[in-house]
């Protein structure tokens, strides 16, 4: 871009919106200090951002020990930056996101077949305008999928557990706003990189998304690993039993997700007729953890194979991606809390020397299923910033 006063103004606007997204509310004085722009430049830009409907004046806040007070500036919640469809194999969650990174879940519906799914999404989007504060200029529609997605074209290339192929969303969804789509694990690591200090600090992290299947999202040197055909980080389809007869949805045999998805320990526990409490996979898995924690032998047995293969998956992540942070999430957000010690013992026996040094393992900071929603909203916010004019 040629630098003239107009493009300079745009760069400064983008900078200020980015800082407000990152830090939350700030005063003009604080913005001036952070950006090193003069107070009068800040004033002019803030005036324009208020006129564009992106920024609002908030409460007067104390900004120094001497009791000086200044008006805080915040990103508006008058419109939603995104409507996110978080597509799971069983259910799809619908949520809205705002410029300040907050999100709100609205409701869920059974995902069903591709045609019924598309019908429901179009139906919902028709009603949306009356129910939610959408902006014809700024609101994007974002889809999170369990599978391989071309984010530039918003096309689902292949979602094995749904058996959907080559779904061109822009041709099927009737809506005048930008449509984005990405893999749920990629969006989850994006959310963690926007809100977690460890991922921000290191820029090398892996999100292991465990639900009905297993997905993976990697950030390497601060960039999402996509690969030539957008299947970068698909750890769920790495082979962990080379001579296995267990067929995977992807067509291969012995894939990690056929041994370490949440379905495995639940099916194992329920195979003799005893049912676990809960409707969804995540709820049932929580019940299984509870049974395990009160010492039920049957639950312990059911979890054994799952934890063994999960440790194999984690070893492969450490040895392949060499991340600083490994995050477990998806339909459970307490696997590491409950089984971290046991998993770490197994992992430390089999990783290459030095690769495990200082690696942080943890559960996601987000509620079940929320990481991909927050990540989807981050994608929409980035689009708003990039297309400011
Ligand atoms: Zn597979």
For position 237, what pLDDT does the model report? Answer: 97
Nearest to 122 by CA among 88, 157, 83, 156: 83
For position 7, what pLDDT does the model report? Answer: 87
Cα(308) to ligand 1 centroid in Å equals 18
For position 176, what pLDDT does the model report? Answer: 85
For position 63, what pLDDT does the model report? Answer: 62
Specify which residues 156 forms β-bridges with: 149, 167
pLDDT band at 368 (very low <50, low <70, confident <90, very high): confident
pLDDT tens profile 166-185? 999 999 998 888 999 999 99
The whole-number average pLDDT for the span 199-213 is 97
Cα(338) to ligand 1 centroid in Å equals 27
Cα(242) to ligand 1 centroid in Å equals 12
Task: State the Cα–Cα distance between residues 83 and 135, nearest whole angstrom.
Answer: 11
Task: State the Cα–Cα distance between residues 270 and 272, nearest whole angstrom.
Answer: 6
Cα(210) to ligand 1 centroid in Å equals 14
For position 362, what pLDDT does the model report? Answer: 98
pLDDT band at 325 (very low <50, low <70, confident <90, very high): very high
Checking if the pLDDT of 157 tops 70, the result is yes
The whole-number average pLDDT for the span 317-339 is 97
If you write DSSP's letter for every residue of 99-118 in order, what string do you get?
TTS-EEEEEEEE--SHHHHH
Portion of the chain with pLDDT greater than 90, in percent: 87
Q: Strand pairing of 325-330 and 223-224?
A: unpaired
Q: What does each C-alpha distance from 101 to 22, 41, 48 come to in angstroms?
A: 9, 26, 21
For position 2, what pLDDT does the model report? Answer: 62
Checking if the pLDDT of 210 tops 60, the result is yes
Cα(31) to ligand 1 centroid in Å equals 49
Order of all β-strands in the sheet with 164-168: 148-150, 155-159, 164-168
Cα(161) to ligand 1 centroid in Å equals 10
Answering whether pTM is above 0.85, one says yes
For position 102, what pLDDT does the model report? Answer: 95
Please, which residues have CB less than 5 A from ligand 1, an ion? 237, 248, 250, 252, 255
If you write DSSP's letter for every residue of 170-217 in order, what string do you get?
HHH---SS-EEEEEHHHHHHHHHHHH-HHHHHH--EEEEEESSSEEEE
Checking if the pLDDT of 386 tops 90, the result is yes
For position 60, what pLDDT does the model report? Answer: 75
The whole-number average pLDDT for the span 103-131 is 93
Phi, psi (deg, nearest 5) at residue 142: -125, 135
The distance between the two most distant Cα atoms of the chain, rounded to a whole number of Å, is 73
For position 175, what pLDDT does the model report? Answer: 85
Portion of the chain with pLDDT greater than 70, in percent: 97
Checking if the pLDDT of 371 tops 60, the result is yes
Checking if the pLDDT of 1 tops 60, the result is no
Checking if the pLDDT of 240 tops 60, the result is yes
Q: Is the dihedral of CA 218, 219, 220, 225 positive or negative?
A: positive
Task: State the Cα–Cα distance between residues 199 and 192, nearest whole angstrom.
Answer: 7
Checking if the pLDDT of 109 tops 70, the result is yes
For position 67, what pLDDT does the model report? Answer: 67
pLDDT tens profile 5-46? 888 999 999 999 999 999 999 999 999 999 999 999 999 999
Coil, helix or strand for 308?
Answer: helix
Give the helix/strand (H/E) hosting 267: helix 263-270
- In the chain, the domains with their CATH numbers are 5-75 (1.10.10.10), 82-187+371-386 (3.30.420.40), 197-363 (3.30.420.40)
Cα(217) to ligand 1 centroid in Å equals 16
């Amino acid at each position: 871009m040629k630098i003239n006063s107009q493009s300079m103004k745009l760069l400064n606007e983008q900078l200020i919106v980015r800082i407000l997204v990152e830090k939350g509310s700030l005063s003009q004085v604080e913005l001036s200090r952070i950006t090193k722009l003069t107070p009068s430049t800040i004033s002019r830009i803030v005036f324009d951002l208020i006129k564009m409907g992106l920024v609002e004046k908030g409460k007067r806040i104390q900004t120094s020990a001497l009791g000086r007070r200044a008006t805080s500036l915040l990103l508006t919640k008058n419109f939603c930056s995104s409507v996110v469809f978080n597509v799971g194999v069983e259910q799809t969650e619908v949520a809205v996101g705002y410029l300040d990174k907050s999100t709100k879940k609205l409701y869920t519906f059974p995902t069903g077949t591709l045609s019924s799914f598309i019908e429901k999404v179009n139906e919902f989007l028709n009603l949306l305008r009356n129910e939610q504060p959408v902006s014809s200029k700024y609101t994007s529609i974002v889809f999170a999928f369990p599978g391989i997605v071309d984010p530039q074209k918003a096309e689902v290339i292949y979602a094995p557990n749904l058996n959907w192929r080559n779904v061109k969303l822009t041709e099927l969804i009737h809506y005048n706003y930008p449509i984005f789509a990405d893999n749920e694990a990629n969006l989850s690591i994006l959310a963690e990189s926007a809100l977690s200090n460890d991922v921000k600090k290191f820029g090398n992290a892996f999100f292991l998304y465990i639900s009905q299947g297993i997905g993976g999202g990697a950030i390497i040197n601060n960039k999402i690993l996509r690969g030539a055909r957008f299947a970068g980080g698909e750890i769920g389809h790495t082979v962990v039993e080379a001579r296995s007869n267990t067929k995977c949805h992807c067509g291969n045999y012995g894939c990690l997700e056929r041994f370490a998805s949440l379905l495995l320990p639940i099916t194992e526990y329920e195979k003799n007729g005893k049912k676990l409490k809960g409707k969804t996979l995540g709820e049932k898995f929580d019940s299984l953890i509870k049974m395990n924690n009160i010492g039920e032998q049957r639950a312990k047995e059911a979890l054994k194979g799952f934890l063994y293969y999960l440790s194999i998956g984690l070893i492969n992540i450490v040895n392949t991606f060499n991340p600083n942070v490994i995050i477990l999430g998806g339909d459970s957000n307490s696997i590491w809390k409950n089984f971290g010690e046991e998993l770490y013992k197994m992992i430390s026996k089999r990783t290459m020397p030095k690769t495990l040094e200082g690696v942080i393992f943890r559960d996601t900071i987000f509620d079940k299923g929320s990481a991909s929603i927050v990540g989807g909203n981050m994608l929409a916010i980035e689009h708003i910033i990039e297309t400011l004019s």
